[in-house]
Copies of this chain bind each other. A is one copy, B any other.
Amino acid sequence: NETAKAELGRATWKLLHTMTLRYPEHPTQDERDALSSYLHLTSRLYPCGECAAEFQELLKAFPPQTVSRLAASLWLCSIHNKVNERLGKPSFDCAHLDETYDCGC
């Protein structure tokens, strides 16, 4: 069921991008550890097994950047672009993150 897999992917990317764009601009070490753990746990618990395996490989090759909001959101944008590339999807211009993800908070 490719439709369900795609819907789950869209929902997850939305949460993850919005999260990095609300992450502190100057995080504490504890906040940095929280984001890093959260991303690693997401890659373990993600319901699509093939996607989870792919995400785990990406996290190994490109460890999460958590030093600031900008670093985290650009890191995630580049990871999403690597998934896009593998799936034959167009690359996203990471300069447009702010306009695309608004959590309304």
Measured CB to CB, the residues of A under 8 A from B are: 1-8, 10-12, 14-15, 18-19, 21-23, 34-35, 37-38, 41-42, 44-50, 102-105
Establish whether residues A34 and B23, one from each chain, have CB atoms under 8 Å apart when the complex forms.
no
Instruction: Select one of B11, B42, B46 contacting A14, CB under 8 A.
Output: B11
Query: What DSSP secondary structure best describes chain A's contact surface?
Result: helix
| Pair A5/B105 contact, Cβ less than 8 Å | yes
Q: Complex Cα distance A1/B5, Å?
A: 28
A34 to chain B, nearest CB (A): 6
For the complex, what is the distance from the CA of A47 to the CA of B37, rounded to whole Å?
16
A11 to B3, CA, bound (A): 15
Are A49 and B2 in contact, CB atoms less than 8 angstroms apart? no
Q: Which residues of B contact A11 (CB under 8 A)?
A: 10-12, 14-15
